[in-house]
Amino acid sequence: MCIGLPMQIIGQRGEMAVCLYRGLENLIDMMLVGEQPVGTWLLVFLDTAREVLSEEKARQITDALEAMRLAMQGETQIDHLFADLVDREPTLPEFLQS
């Protein structure tokens, strides 16, 4: 299984971008999303940008990955990392609502 990581562009290097994830710099192939400005958030799989993300979406993914890391260590207090889901009523997709 491959997990996408949210990374932020901090520099350009030709057709590649220098991106930051958890304090580490990575050289990312930008072929699928095209050139993007410094500061842009990307969803990256196997050192290739697959999607441009909003800052909010990048934070949500980062929080979910942190929750997974903590759960693997036996931590159970992770609700704060799912603030967008806690206390929200589930909704059916529109085509199932009628």
Residue 46 lies in a domain: yes
CATH of the domain at 52: 2.30.30.140
Query: Residue 11: which domain range?
Result: 5-82
Residue 47 covered by a domain: yes
Query: Do the Cβ atoms of 38 and 28 come closer than 8 Å?
Result: no
Query: Which ranges constitute the DSSP H helices of the chain?
Result: 55-72
User: Could you tell me the pTM of the whole model?
Assistant: 0.81
How do residues 8-58 score in pLDDT, each as one tens digit? Answer: 999 999 899 999 999 999 999 999 999 999 999 999 999 999 999 999 999
Spatial separation of the C-alpha atoms in residues 21 and 10, rounded to whole Å: 10
pLDDT at residue 1, as a whole number = 63
| Residue 55 forms part of a structural domain | yes
Domain assignment of residue 92, yes or no: no
pLDDT reported for residue 88: 80
71/91 Cα distance (integer angstroms):
26
24 part of a folded domain: yes
Residue 23 belongs to a domain: yes
Three-state DSSP at 19 gives strand
Give the count of domains, the chain: 1
Number of helices (H) and strands (E) in the chain: give both, helices first: 1, 5
Judge whether 94 lies within some domain: no
